[in-house]
Amino acid sequence: MNIIGPDALVFGVEDLPACRQYLLDYGLKDAGNDRYEALDGTAIVLRAKDDATLPAAMGTASLLRETVYGVADVATLDAIETELRRDREVSRRDGVVRSVDDMGFALAFQVTVRRALDMKSERVNGPGDAQRAPNQLGLPAEDQALPRTLSHVVYFVPDAAKAEAFYQRLGFVCTDRFTGVGPFLRPAGTLDHHTLFMIQTPPFMKGCEHFTFHMGGPTEVLLAGTRFVEKGYQSFWGPGRHRFGSNWFWYFNSPLGCHVEYDADMDLHDDQWAAREVPMGADASQLFLFQYREKWAPSGPPPPGAAH
């Protein structure tokens, strides 16, 4: 089934003004009706927690109310509807197929709203492989570094094996796995290492752990993350680089009941790829990890804690 990836995540939040400001400061664009879009039209949608039009809450602290998948065409919607009707209730209205996965996450499927991007990603000049033309500068413009596309969502689930089996029915394949934790899953319509990762947790934690948008490269992750810190938001983890997926990351706390990440430069895989499996641990989770600090210049006094 030609599922491309998440088109949107819908949250039912307690503090709408804080969430609106957060998403604008993160770099998404106000598209009206509390829809905040990346450059390709993928989005985060905000609603009040008690909005009667939302799917039911999961009964945990999670504020995620619906994961909206973009699919390639109507034939894929038909195939999803047929598959899910085998064992659960499905609705189809205005081109949107809705149902619930085996863990209780509300899902919607639609022909994708994504617009194709025609933008350069970050280029690196290395000896033997210069990727930038002469006179082409390496730094992005300061006003750039905007989220390009909704990359992935991570769920806390009480039964990762059962959850994975459900997504296999929709054509998702495991690209890598942390033993006893959960799989990285890639749907058939993208080469991205994952659009969904699952972490097994006790049932009371069920919900969204984080979501992220792809940036144009590691410099954009660092630039956007630095801007976000300087606006007063709290770094949670990063910047760093994951091992599985090779993606650069920087995670922040948010008022959406989950962490929010910037990421870039994820590995692409096709059906020739053989999934790896390792135990979870600090080394397995990241190649390296840094921490933000304020800018300084070597002409001034060294910052506190700097080596002399």
Q: Which residue ranges make up the site for Fe ion (CB under 5 A)?
A: 212, 261
3-state class of 218 per DSSP? Answer: helix
The order of strands in the sheet holding 106-111 is 29-30, 35-37, 43-48, 3-13, 64-71, 106-111, 96-100, 91-93
Q: Which residue has the tokens 């999961």?
A: 58
Nearer to Fe ion among residue 212 and residue 254 (C-beta): 212
DSSP 141: P
Distance (Å, whole) CA 179 – CA 170: 23
Distance (Å, whole) CA 85 – CA 97: 11
Q: How far is CA 172 from CA 23, 43, 285, in A?
A: 29, 21, 22
Q: How far is the CB of 290 from Fe ion (least distance, A)?
A: 17
Nearer to Fe ion among residue 36 and residue 184 (C-beta): 184
Q: How far is the CB of 261 from Fe ion (least distance, A)?
A: 5
Distance (Å, whole) CA 92 – CA 110: 10
Q: How far is the CB of 193 from Fe ion (least distance, A)?
A: 10
Give the pair of three-digit tokens for residue 198. Answer: 């699952």
Q: How far is the CB of 146 from Fe ion (least distance, A)?
A: 18
Nearer to Fe ion among residue 110 and residue 236 (C-beta): 236
Q: How far is the CB of 27 from Fe ion (least distance, A)?
A: 16
Nearer to Fe ion among residue 199 and residue 278 (C-beta): 199
Q: How far is CA 43 from CA 31, 73, 146, in A?
A: 9, 19, 13
Q: How far is the CB of 185 from Fe ion (least distance, A)?
A: 13
Nearer to Fe ion among residue 100 and residue 215 (C-beta): 215
3-state class of 23 per DSSP? Answer: helix
Nearer to Fe ion among residue 6 and residue 55 (C-beta): 6
| Residue 8 dihedral angles phi and psi, to the nearest 5° | -160, 155
Q: How far is the CB of 194 from Fe ion (least distance, A)?
A: 8
Nearer to Fe ion among residue 36 and residue 211 (C-beta): 211
DSSP 72: S
- Is the CB of residue 96 less than 8 Å from the CB of residue 45? no
Q: How far is the CB of 97 from Fe ion (least distance, A)?
A: 26
Nearer to Fe ion among residue 98 and residue 210 (C-beta): 210
Count CA atoms within 13 Å of residue 62 on its CB side.
Answer: 28
